[in-house]
Amino acid sequence: MYPRLGVNIDHVATLRQARKTVPYPDPVQAAFIAEQAGADQITVHLREDRRHIQDRDLKLLRETIQTRLNLEMANTQDMVKIALYLKPFGATLVPEKREEITTEGGLDVMRHQESLARTANLMKEAGIRVSFFIDPDLDQVRASHKAGAEAVEVHTGKYCEAKSLDEEDSEFQAILGSVRAGKKLGLKTYAGHGINYHNLKRLLQIEDLEEYNIGHSIIARAVFVGLEAAVREMIVLIRSKG
Ligand code: PXP
């Protein structure tokens, strides 16, 4: 089985929200095109400040997506309520700060063990696959398992943005170690953040990575070649296994 590609379409909504007064480009249309191009999953982050994806988008996506809908969300009462009502295929719990441009780091699972465990339990009871977005750190992997996560999405941002080969190597090793540790504990293991058509190649060496959630690089490429081609190119890479 090839790893799955989850296409994050937040940036389509960002472009629409830049004008606020127009209904395009529509992330719902983007999801349809991405699925037709072979995406295995559509990922969206409903942020508390609604800076890109809107409640209307999420509702329509829930009704129209034919593959899997993965909702990235902060662990807040409001978001948990929305997830339990909409019941997406999966929910990825992420830390969220209003001032950040994008999700900056992984969850501190040790620090928020109790409330994360409570949310994980609610999600599982509702039949939603619950994943924790964490830095590549063994303690966070173990804490995620303890808190009842079914999957961990390992934050690949530092690897992807490494400024030297040494830094890239050490970040890669950290991801590899975390994925292996997660697998041993029975967790599903995913990767996301900052992944593009180049830095993906090395990640593909990690056998146990089952899913990649990729947004910015695909939407950026779509500006030049169209969304369908941009998604297809990423799928070809994933299936070539580097
Ligand atoms: N996975 C998670 C948990 C994220 O928060 C994001 C960014 O929204 C992504 C994947 C996609 O990151 P990028 O847009 O850098 O590909």
Cα end-to-end distance, the chain, whole Å: 15
Q: What is the pLDDT of residue 214?
A: 98
> Domain range holding 167?
4-239
Dist. CA 218 → ligand 1 center (Å): 11
Tokens of 136: 């590549």
Q: Which residues pair with 212 in a beta bridge?
A: 5, 191
List all residues whose CB is within 6 A of at least one atom of ligand 1.
8, 10, 45, 72, 92, 94, 102-103, 133, 153, 192-195, 213-217
Q: Point out the ligand 1 atom lying closest to the alpha carbon of residue 195.
A: 16
Strand stretches in the chain, DSSP E: 4-8, 41-45, 68-73, 90-93, 129-134, 151-155, 188-192, 211-214
The residue to mutate among 213, 214, 217, 231, having the most atoms of ligand 1 within 8 angstroms of its beta carbon, is 213
Ligand 1 centre distance from Cα of residue 118 (Å): 24
- Contact residues for 178 (Cβ-Cβ < 8 A; gap 6+): 134, 136, 137, 138, 140, 141, 152, 154, 189
With the most atoms of ligand 1 within 8 angstroms of its CB, the residue from 4, 72, 107, 158 to mutate is: 72
**CA proximity to 141, closest of 164, 105, 49, 133:** 133
Q: Is 95 exposed, middle or buried (0-12, 13-18, 19+ CB in 10 A)?
A: middle
Q: What percent of the chain has pLDDT over 90?
A: 94
Whether 198 sits among the annotated catalytic residues: the reply is: no
Query: In the chain, how many domains are there?
Result: 1
Q: Which residues of the chain have pLDDT under 50?
A: none
d(CA 171, CA 40): 27
Pair 41, 68: CB distance under 8 Å: yes
Q: How many whole angstroms from 51 Cα to the centroid of ligand 1?
A: 15
CATH number of the domain that residue 145 is part of = 3.20.20.70
**Tens of pLDDT along 38-86?**
999 999 999 999 999 999 999 999 999 999 999 999 999 999 999 999 9
Report the SS3 class of residue 213.
Answer: strand
Instruction: Tell me the C-alpha distance between 208 and 186, whole Å.
Output: 11
**This prediction's pTM:** 0.96
Instruction: Given the residues 11, 52, 155, 193, select the one marked as catalytic.
Output: 193
Strand partners, 191: 154, 212
